[in-house]
Amino acid sequence: MPKLLYFISEDWFFCSHFLDRAKAAQQAGYEVVVLTRLREHEGLLRNAGFRLIQLHMERGGTNPLRELGVLRQVWRVYRAERPDLVHHIALKPILYGSLVARWLGSRAVVNAPVGMGYVFTAQGSRGRLLRALVRRALQALLNPPGSKVVFENEEDLAASVRSGSVGQPDAVLIRGAGVDTEVFAPVAPPAGTPIVVLAARMLRDKGVVEFVEAAGLLRARGIDVCCWLVGAPDPANPSSLTTTQLQAWQREGVVRWCGHRDRMEQVLSQCHIACLPSYREGLPKFLLEAMACGLPVVATDVTGCREAVERDRTGLLVPPRDAHSLAEAIQTLVQSPSLRASLGAEARTRVLARFARTRIVGETLDLYAQMLATGRRAADATRAC
């Protein structure tokens, strides 16, 4: 039974984006070990039958001594577990995990650079410095010998190959986490005032501020629309909004803040339009789930969103950080039920063809099998020498 170790900072992100793939790997005969910070999703992971290892790490931590302690912890885990295959997810796990894997001679490494929106959207001198440091680190550790690097969209894959961070043969495109198209399925649009929903962590770089501004513009024009925010703040992210600010917007009546919701299919069944004015994405799961439900979408013309949305066929794309263009696009859909229906139908078709869960799971398991086969051949060659 080959041992597959996932290294990821947060248990909630693993459950959101990798749980289905880990279950499928387990059913295919892998022993699945998850190294992560265990919090409210620990029970769900234990019920799935995975072996869990508590990670003592803060996602946004920068204290050098603490980070050295994290690196030492990762080294101890990898030395004790000796996994046949490791899957590193997001920046710190990639850097620390790849470094430790290299020290220990592990070659079957899958790196997935997801969840790095703040790195690429931060403004000013600090943002430029952060990007320079991250790029240098990734050039050294993103694609060590024997590894594969999984990208969620074609633009990030091409840019990483051009920069020399990843070799072309080692770059793999697997489009996101996959959508359960039976759970996320179209229902009849509810009667009454159209509802536009933005579901995400409540971060500035998700375009939440522009969404609220657009909602204010629509209200000033007398447009009959209700705008919902669904999601919680993320204090570990420098771009996070505060609960106080979200509550203030709610009191003003500009938007309705619904907080975190587990059953997104129930939320989407009440809505008419999905909106994500993000500054950058890997591949936005929320948009894909909304499209699977047959909702038209309004998104920004940025990396990741362009991978999900086909302009003027499955949704409308607007410039980032532009509340006026966002309001115009939302108003267009609010005032045209027929356009909403046609875009929504095409959106569902696109998800079925490109982003269905069965496809994403299958592509991931194929990659794992390829990595193990390559590792066995390398080991056989070493023994022969």
Of the two residues 126 and 285, the one the predictor is more confident about is 285
The tally of CA atoms less than 13 A away on the side-chain side of residue 256 is: 10
Of the two residues 316 and 107, the one the predictor is more confident about is 316
Is the domain of 156 the same as that of 225?
no
On the 0-12 / 13-18 / 19+ scale of CB atoms within 10 A, 225 is: buried
Is the domain of 104 the same as that of 46?
yes
In a domain? residue 190:
no
Whether the CB-CB separation of 117 and 142 falls below 8 Å is answered with no
Buried-exposed string 117-132: b where 16+ CB fall within 10 A, e elsewhere:
bbbbbbeeeeeeebee
In a domain? residue 159:
yes
Is the domain of 48 the same as that of 99?
yes
pLDDT above 80 for 128: no
Number of domains in the chain: 2
- For residue 232, what pLDDT is reported? 96
Is the domain of 285 the same as that of 326?
yes
Identity of the amino acid at 15: C
Which regions of 113-248 does DSSP assign to beta strands (E)? 148-151, 171-173, 195-199, 226-230
Q: How confident is the model at residue 293 (pLDDT cuts 50, 70, 90)?
A: very high
In a domain? residue 189:
no
Is the domain of 152 the same as that of 77?
yes
Is the domain of 98 the same as that of 163?
yes
- For residue 175, what pLDDT is reported? 95
Is the domain of 170 the same as that of 207?
no
Domain that holds residue 13: 3-178+357-384
End-to-end Cα distance, the chain: 26
Q: Cα separations (Å) of 199 from 151, 176, 230, 271?
A: 23, 17, 4, 12
CATH number assigned to the domain comprising residue 148: 3.40.50.2000
Contacts of 144 (CB under 8 A, 6+ apart): 98, 101, 102, 107, 109
Is the domain of 152 the same as that of 266?
no
Is the domain of 140 the same as that of 223?
no
- For residue 280, what pLDDT is reported? 93
- For residue 63, what pLDDT is reported? 72
Is the domain of 29 the same as that of 130?
yes
